[in-house]
């Protein structure tokens, strides 16, 4: 493999070779629903059930999810939801990744409901969803790592072993700077 220079562009190129799932994170702040598309979501722990998402600091979603700043424990336990996207939901992923989209009416394009525990938006077409309460945040570089404790779990289908899997049961994947679909 050729050696690359240590530039942000080279770093993006190398990092893009790591395939990730795609999720839409939702929260509420100041009477508005907020959302962002994330490929930087992962589970952290089973006991207790913890997850994390990395949020770019210079965004209104960051201001909504981290209202008290990017560092430390969240005394109010801010709540949010994770929607794991199916491969059929590329348009939703693109929409919620669009910077500057209007807050009012942004969810009119996707069927959704409110989570029973937090009241945050859950997308009807998601493969799975979680409602979460922030327990800690930490700033690193231009992002904030947000760690949350899982409050509820939902799954769209337990029939993922069908052969071949239905497209609506396959995850949306982000690889080499593009949304992709798994063949099996």
Cα separation of 168 and 179, whole Å? 15
Alpha-carbon span 106 to 101, nearest angstrom = 7
pTM value > 0.85? yes
pLDDT of residue 153: 97
Task: For residue 144, give the H/E element and its range.
Answer: strand 143-155
Q: What would be the CATH architecture of the domain defined by 19-179?
A: Roll (2.30)
- What tens digit of pLDDT does each residue of 97-141 get? 999 999 999 999 999 999 999 999 999 999 999 999 999 999 999
Q: Which of 180, 77, 168, 165 is nearest to 127 (CA)?
A: 168
Share of the chain above pLDDT 90, in %: 67
So where are the chain's domains?
A: 19-179
Strands 41-46 and 143-155: unpaired
């Amino acid at each position: 493999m050729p050696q690359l220079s240590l530039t942000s562009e080279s770093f993006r190129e190398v990092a893009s070779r790591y395939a990730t799932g795609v999720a839409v994170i939702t929260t509420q702040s100041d009477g508005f629903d907020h959302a962002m598309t994330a490929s930087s979501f992962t589970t952290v722990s089973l006991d207790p059930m913890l997850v994390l998402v990395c949020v770019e600091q210079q965004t209104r979603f960051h201001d909504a999810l981290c209202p008290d700043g990017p560092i430390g424990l969240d005394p109010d336990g801010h709540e949010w939801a994770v929607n794991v996207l199916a491969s059929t939901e590329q348009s939703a992923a693109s929409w919620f990744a669009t910077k500057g989209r209007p807050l009012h009416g942004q969810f009119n394009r996707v069927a959704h409901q409110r989570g029973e525990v937090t009241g945050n938006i859950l997308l009807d077409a998601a493969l799975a969803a979680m409602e979460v309460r922030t327990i800690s945040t930490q700033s690193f570089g231009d992002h904030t790592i947000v760690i949350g404790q899982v409050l509820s779990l939902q799954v769209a289908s337990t029939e993922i072993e069908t052969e071949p899997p239905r497209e609506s049961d396959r995850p949306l994947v982000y690889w080499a700077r593009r949304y992709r679909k798994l063949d099996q």
